[in-house]
Every structure is written in C-alpha cells, then in structure tokens.
Amino acid sequence: MTKLLKSGAFAADAFQATADDAALPDGPVIVSLARFEKERETLLARNTPIGVRLKSDENPTRLGDDVNRLSLVALEFPKFRDGRAFSWARLVRTRLGFKGEIRAVGDFLFDQLSYQHRVGFDAWEVPDHFTIEMFNAALAEMTNVYQPAADGKKTIRELRAH
Amino acid sequence: MLNPRQVEPNMYRYDEFDSKFVHERVTQFAGQVERRLTGELTEDQFKPLRLMNGLYLQLHAYMLRVAVPYGTLSSKQLRRLAHIARTYDKNFGHFTTRQNIQYNWIKLVDVPAILRELAEVEMHAIQTSGNCIRNVTADQFAGAAADEIEDPRPLAEIIRQWSSLHPEFLFLPRKFKIAVGGSPNDRAALLYHDMAVEIVRNKEGRTGYKVLVGGGMGRTPYIAQVIGEFVEKDDILAFMEAVMRVYNEQGRRDNIYKARIKILTNALGIEEMRRQVNIEFAEIKKVGTLQLPQAELDRITAYFAVPAFETGLSDAMPDAGPDFANWVRTNITAHKAPGYAIATITLKTPGQVPGDATSEQMDIIADLMDEFSVGEVRVTHEQNLVLPHVRNKDLPAIFAKLKELDFASPNAGLITDIIACPGLDYCDLANARSIPIAQKIALKFEDLDRQHKIGELKIKISGCINACGHHHAGHIGILGVDKKGVEFYQLLLGGSGAEDASIGDIMGPGFTEHEIAGAVERVVEVYLAQRNDGERFLDTYRRIGMEKFKAAAYETVAA
Amino acid sequence: MAQTIQMLTANRLKTGDVLYRHVSGWVLMLADGEVYLDAAAADAALAAAQAETVQNDFVAPYLFEVRESAGRIVPVKEREIIRAAGPTVHPHTGKQAGQYNA
C-alpha cells in the first residue's frame, strides 16, 4: 500500500485513479493521457478536478494549454533508473507554467526525493512505512545547489553574490 | 624532500559553498553505505547510488574512482592521493584515460573515511561513474600551450559545478562524458565524447564555443558532429542543458548498447537533433536563469590566472647530455612563456603498468611540482602526468630526479607510450588482459633509436568492446576478446583521437596472447618500408590502406 | 561430453573480498571451496546463496566452470583463474600473495 505525501505532509487522496475502460466515478479522477486525449471534451465539461497520469515515454507538452485546466499531473517512474520524469516535471512546471499538483508515482528511491522536489514534484505516493521525518531528512541532505531548477531555490552562484 | 614548502598553484579553490557541498555529499554517501549494510537498501538499489559516487565492485574487490576535474592537481592533492593509496590500498594508484585516478583494493566500509580525506583537499568522487554527467575532462596543456586560444579550464569548472547533482540529469539513459578544448590541436579526444566544447574564434575575432555531440567508442564508435557552430559564451550552459534534455527524454532505455547519445544523434540525424536542441535552447534562454554572466566567467577565470612567469629567460635548451636531449625531443612541448616548457612525465617505462604510480613516486612528483612547476601537475588522457610550467634551465634537474623514479623514458607519443585499460587483471567487464600486452609490446620496442626512428605512433589497448583503452582511436588499436575462455586480440589500424579523428579499421581474425606483439612488429616493419619522407604511421596507413599490413601481420601466424 | 563441474563465488559486502562457497558458508581460497559435480547440485547451491543475499553479508553470487588438472581443481576461464589468484601484472597483490581483507 502507498499513501500520499503532499506539500510536506500526509494528505487524503481526493482523486480516484480510473482505468481506461472503467466508467468515470463522481468526483476528482485521474485518467491516462490516452483517455484524456480521447474524452477531452467530456472530461473538461465535468465540473470536478481532473488529473492526468503520464507514462515515462509520454511528453507532457502534448497537453499544451490544457494542462492549466488540470488539477494534477501524475508522472510515472516505471523503475527508479528511468529518469525521464525528471525532465517531464521540469517542463510541466517551468515550460507549461503548471501551478497544480505534480505527483510522483511508481518506483523511486528515498535518495531521489530531493531531486524530484527540485524539478517540480510536490506530491509523492510513498510506502506505508514512510515518515515525514524521512521526507524532511531527504530534502535536508544537501543544503545548497549549483544549478537553477523548478524549485526557485537560490543557487550557489546567487548566494555567493551576497 | 626537495622542498618542504607546499606551493599553492593557480587553480580553482573551493569557497565555503563548495566545501560544504562536498562534505555534505560525503555524509550523504556514508548514510547510503550504512543503509546498505543494514539491508535497508538492496544491492540493486545501492548499485546506481555507489556508482554515482565512483564505487565499483570489480573482479577482486571494490574499486574507487576519484575525480581529477579537467586533469588538474595541486601538490597537496597529489600527496593526499599518495596517502590514500598507502593507507587504504596497496600503495599504488592507476591514472585513467578520463584523467581520473583509480584505487583497486578498497573496502566498502573505508569509503566514507577516504571521501572525507579527499574533501579536506577539495576533491571528491562525485559522478565518476553511473548514468549521469561524468567528470569533465580537458586539454592537459591548458593554460600553458603556445597554440592555445583560451584556457579551457574555467569553462570546465563551470560545467563541473552545473553538472554536480544536477537534479534532472542523474538518471540518464547511459553515462555522459564531456570534454573541453581550447586549442586547434585536440589533445583531449574531443571528437570521441558524448558532448565536446571547443573554444573557437569567429571571423570578427570574438571567442565562443563550438559544440559537438554524439562521439563515442564502445560497440558502435562514432565521431562527434557539430551541433552548435558558434555558441555565445553566456549561452553555453543553456545550450548544454538543451542537449541534455533532448537526450534524457529520447535516448533509448531498452538496450544498454544503444543508450548513448551517439545512437540517438545518428537515429535522428544531426539536422533533426540540431532542430530539437535549438527549440529547447530557445525555451531555456527565455527562462534566463541559466545565462552565464561575463562577471561569473571572469571570476572563475581569475582562479586560473597564469603564474607570474620570470621574464628575460633564454629560450635555449640546456646541454645536459644525450639522454637528456632525447627526453627533450619527445617529452617537452612549447610553452607560451619564453624560457618555459611543458614537461610530460610518461608513466610508461617499458615493462611498467601504463598509468600506475606508487605512493612514493607520487610524493616525489609532488616535490618536483613544488620545486619547479608552481605546485601543479596535470593528468593526461594518455595516462601520463605533465608539469605545465617549468623553466628550461630546470629541466636537467627534473630529468635527473625522474630517472631515479624510473619515469624518465623519452617516449611521449612514441610506440611505447601505450594507453591500456585495466583489462581482465582487474575489471569485471573485461574479456581479456590489456596490461600484459602493453608490457610485451613496450619491451619489444624498448630500443630507443628504433622508437625514435618509428616516430609518432599511438597504440591503444582495450580488454573489451567498451573501449576504455580507446582502441578505435589508436594508430594501432588492439581489442581483447574472449573465445571460449581464452584471450584473443584483434588489430585495428588507422584510428586517431586527435583533430584528424578517425575510427580504426579491423584487420581480421584475432591473434593469441603470444602472437600479438609479433604481429604489431610486422605491421610496423611494413610502415618503415613503405613510408614517404615525414609520414607518420597513420599517414602511411591512410595512403596505402590495409592490404600490405594485413599480409605481413598474418604471415608467420598462418605458417 | 564430460559432465560440467562448477563452483560458486561471490564477494563480501563489507570488504569486497572474493569468496567461494563451502558447505558451511564461504571461504577465501578457491582450493577450499566446494565443487559441484552436477548441474542440479550447483543450481541448488546458487539458489540457496541467492536466498541468503538478504542477510547482506555477501553480494553477486554466480557459478563458474572448473576442471581437474594434475590433481587440482582449476577454473576453465582465464577470468576465474585471475579472480582466484589476483592480477597477473601485480603478483605482489591479491590472494596469490596471501592478501585479503577478510
């Protein structure tokens, strides 16, 4: 089982993951990119929050301006070595200017949380034994960073200038 | 000790931020080791984490690869490397074709302590392995060479910082190697890198960067192609980030042998690759946060300021006997300051292991650095060391000391100056040994007159298709293969890793361990018989082709 | 065709030392290791070792072929000969020189 960690705290998951062939339940749903593209009009016409889940080979710029009508983008890590979602999150946050939730789902390690946080993820489906202390520890391991990313953190170059 | 005073060379120095970063990284890795020992991390999970910090499990033990960013070391750092070899390993280290140093007998439980010792002298093992941006390499004569447009090291340092724990590019499809050059003569094998940056001058006389992608060796060798003809200096990080993003998104992840950027570049074609990179580049520029201000480039460049060279020195070479004259002929390169020279210390005395140095040898070289070369040494991708700033008049004293160390071979660039990967003697991936073949060939051609008569001839030996020994780029390349548990060696001719880069042609079936040195000798004899005036081996091969060489190489084997 | 005979090797997690499987655990020298005369015995030993990797004592177990030569058991492949002895180019190091981290 997993639980949802969002913006630094555990949170109830308001969204229902919905299979491509299942009827849409009431309330917020997460659908695949394929289903979103196919049923775009219907989904956008519903008066409930929508999330789209992307596989690691699906470029989120396919969503275009629609992204800002979504509440959630879930990015898959099929295995922790597959680092494509690090770029996808960056594009969603920086290029597409998405302000909603970017959720990491699938196989990732404690040691990747801080990098995911930097590229724009703000929500994680984590295993049940995971604690907030662990999350905070992961983010605190490296105080400073050398390169700008999607987290707006001051880089070492900027800190040096002061 | 020649000089107890440790000289601080002009090179990048950590400030509080760099120092904190590296120390925190040590603590982070120590935590990962601890979690592995308790079993919280499985070996499958730990492996990419330890590789990202240069730690391999090799044939006999763990191997730790320590970064020597762009090949520059201070005497203090070299002494620390000697100390680590003495304390945690078996009293020697191995300099590699990526300007790093490797220790072969490391215990996992000692690694945190070793990393702390490195951090104290502003060194680390960050990203010396793994599917991330690797340690950046550069021309070993940077800042000293007479033919240089600009010192490539300031940009290399900027790239080092930008790529260090870059959150987007730590889980790439495969490893990613970057090299920087500052001179039209390529001494850093730029064209065989995933990405290379060459400092160039445009028609208006302004300097900027030419960017190449998609070079590489391994199973499918490619020469890098130009993707950015002239990238403005302030755009360089944005441009590089664009290349990385296209690669991270689209590089193949289904087949480890097709995962490098060279495969993507050739699948898309360079035009399409350029188009996509330019779209990314424009987007990244719009955000603007990656622009490199001139002030920052100037600030980093100041660390690498040329030393205060003595003026009024004579360009004449001292007369110190025929041995010295021979050494000067091959191991000295023109320096940009009058009366100064660049001295290459070949770690290639015939019979020795290419690239190895003992703790004692490292300590004495550190003394030489302090006494004669403003405390600085360089590691070359040809597995040699370089004293970059020495006065001509000090060369005889340096030569005498190197003789005592058995590092005074006058063979830089000659047939016995062989690149060899660790091969099956150490490497878990190897199919055949490389080092003993290098030793045999070097001993066969030990006679100095013969070496000088043959002239420039680069032999490069790899113990498997991964090509850490650059066999594709050797004038004569040798590739070790495994046939039913027995070692065989294929010959390649006509490769080059320089600005005239070419991929060597495979001659034919392999030779046994006992035949290969003889086959090389017969190939060299063909060259001597066929060459025109002034032709290097490579030139003759390019003119006459494989046939005569092949006939001679197999001559006695067939009999 | 002669029956393939095999041995089982791994590395100690903490030190990296090369290990050979023995009935009562692991030993440092190939000469002290157990030889599996048939594939079933070898596969059983490998399966047992793989199950034990969760104890985080050793890593990367695998089987390799050996043969008898002049009354001694020796590996078939050059790779395993070197792994058992140490690097041929540094005879003063490795098990051939009696060195191991233990």
* Pairing outcome for strands B225-231 and B332-334: unpaired
Count structural domains, chain A.
1
Host H or E run for residue B501: none
Residues of C in contact with B57 (CB under 8 A): 11, 16, 59-60
B482 and B548 both lie in a single domain: yes
DSSP category for residue B329: H
Confidence at residue B7, expressed as pLDDT on a 0 to 100 scale: 87
How many contacts, defined by CB atoms under 8 Å, are there between A and B? 92
Q: In this predicted structure, what is the pLDDT of residue B2?
A: 44
B204, with CB counted inside 10 A (0-12, 13-18, 19+), is exposed
Q: Which of B105, B436, B486 sits opposite C88 (nearest CB)?
A: B436
Phi, psi of B550 (to 5 degrees): -65, -45
Helices (H) and strands (E) in chain C, counts: 2, 5
With respect to residue B5, please indicate whether it lies within any of the assigned structural domains. no
C48 touches chain B (CB under 8 A): no
DSSP state of B182: -
Q: How far is B192 from chain C (nearest CA, A)?
A: 29
Could you tell me the residue range of the domain that residue B506 belongs to? 420-558
pLDDT value of position B4: 58
pLDDT at A162 over 80: no
> At a CB cut-off of 8 Å and minimum separation 6, what does B498 contact?
B185, B186, B187, B189
pLDDT for B3: 46
Quick check: is C67 in a domain? yes
CATH number for B516: 3.30.413.10
Residue C13 lies in a domain: yes
Write the CA distances from B40 to A3, A155, B36, B45, C54, integer angstroms: 20, 32, 6, 10, 10
Cβ separation of A86 and B171 shorter than 8 Å? yes
**Amino acid B559: pLDDT:** 47
Give Cα separations from B15 to A160, A161, B20, B424, C58 (angstroms).
Answer: 9, 12, 9, 41, 40
Q: Is B394 found in the same domain as B424?
A: no
Cβ–Cβ < 8 Å for B98, B164: no
Whether B87 and B166 share a structural domain: no
C102 is a domain residue? no
Neighbours of chain A (3+ CB pairs under 8 A): B
Q: Give the pLDDT score at B332.
A: 98
Residue B39, chain C, CB below 8 Å: the answer is yes
**Domain C-terminal end among B301, B335, B353:** B301
The β-bridge relationship of strands C58-69 and C72-75 is: antiparallel
Share of chain A above pLDDT 70, in %: 100
Q: How many domains does chain B have?
A: 4
Residues B439 and B388 both lie in one domain: no
Token pair in block for residue B153:
């090291």
Per-residue pLDDT of chain C (102 residues; tens, 9 = 90+): 467 999 999 999 999 999 999 998 999 999 999 999 999 999 999 999 999 999 999 999 999 999 999 999 999 999 999 999 999 999 999 999 988 765
- pLDDT, tens digit, 9 for 90 and up, residues A24-83: 999 999 999 999 999 999 999 998 999 999 999 999 999 999 999 999 999 999 999 999
pLDDT of residue B1: 43
**What is the structure's pLDDT at C24?**
81
Per-residue pLDDT of chain B (559 residues; tens, 9 = 90+): 444 578 889 999 999 999 999 999 999 999 999 999 999 999 999 999 999 999 999 999 999 999 999 999 999 999 999 999 999 999 999 999 999 999 999 999 999 999 999 999 999 999 999 999 999 999 999 999 999 999 999 999 999 999 999 999 999 999 999 999 999 999 999 999 999 999 999 999 999 999 999 999 999 999 999 999 999 999 999 999 999 999 999 999 999 999 999 999 999 999 999 999 999 999 999 999 999 999 999 999 999 999 999 999 999 999 999 999 999 999 999 999 999 999 999 999 999 999 999 999 999 999 999 999 999 999 999 999 999 999 999 999 999 999 999 999 999 999 999 999 999 999 999 999 999 999 999 999 999 999 999 999 999 999 999 999 999 999 999 999 999 889 999 999 999 999 999 999 999 999 999 999 999 999 999 999 999 999 999 999 999 999 999 999 998 755 4
Taking CA atoms, what residue in B is nearest to C17? B61
On whether any CB of chain A is under 8 Å from the CB of B24, the answer is: yes
Q: Is residue C45 part of a domain?
A: yes
Q: Which amino acid is located at A154 in the chain?
A: K
Q: Give the per-residue pLDDT at C2.
A: 61
CA pair distance B288, B193, nearest whole angstrom: 27
Average pLDDT, chain A: 96
Answer yes or no: do C87 and B425 touch at CB < 8 A: yes
Mapping DSSP to helix (H, G, I), strand (E, B) and coil, where does residue B343 land? strand
**H/E segment holding residue C48:** helix C39-52
Same domain flag for B257 and B395: no
CA distance A60 to A88: 6
CA–CA dist A20, B401 (Å, integer): 75
Residue B525 sits in the same domain as residue B448 = yes
B486 chain-C contacts, CB cut-off 8 A: 78
Contacts of B485 in chain C (CB under 8 A): 76-79
In chain A, whose CA is at the least distance from the CA of B285? A95
The helix (run of H) or strand (run of E) holding residue C61 is strand C58-69
The pLDDT tens digits of the residues spanning C2-11 come to: 679 999 999 9
Looking at the fold, whether B158 and B297 belong to one and the same domain comes out as yes
CATH number of the domain where residue B34 is located: 3.90.480.20
**DSSP character at residue B150:** S
Number of domains in chain C: 1
Position C19 in a domain: yes
Q: With the C-alpha atoms ordered C87, C90, C95, C101, is the resulting torsion angle positive or negative?
A: negative
Residue B483 contacts C where some CB pair is shorter than 8 Å: no
When CB atoms are compared, the residue of A95, A143, A159 closest to B24 is A143
The CATH code of the domain that includes A81 is 3.20.20.70
| Cβ-contact B557, B517 below 8 angstroms | no
The residue range of the domain holding A116 is: 2-160
Q: Do A144 and B168 touch (CB under 8 A)?
A: no
Dihedral angle sign, alpha carbons of residues A131, A132, A133, A137? positive
Judge if B248 and B172 occupy the same domain.
yes
Q: Dig out the tokens for B272 from the structure.
A: 């399409």
Residue B305 CB neighbour total at 10 angstroms: 11
Strand order in the sheet with B207-213: B137-138, B178-181, B195-201, B207-213, B225-231
Q: Determine, for residues A84 and B249 on separate chains, whether the beta-carbon distance falls below 8 Å.
A: yes
- Give tens-digit pLDDT for A113-130: 999 999 999 999 999 999
Residue owning tokens 């006058």: B410
Residues 420-439 on B with a CB inside 8 Å of C are 424-426, 430-433, 435-436, 439
Judge if B538 and B439 occupy the same domain: yes
pLDDT tens by residue, B166-201: 999 999 999 999 999 999 999 999 999 999 999 999
Q: How many CA atoms lie within 13 A of B131 on its CB side?
A: 22
Domain boundary among B245, B270, B301: B301
Output the pLDDT for position B485: 85
Question: Which residues span the domain enclosing C62?
Answer: 5-97
Write phi, then psi, for A65 (nearest 5 degrees): -70, -20
Give the neighbor-by-neighbor strand order of the sheet with A29-32: A9-11, A2-6, A123-127, A101-106, A72-77, A50-54, A29-32, A16-17
Which of B374, B405, B436 corresponds to the end of one domain? B405
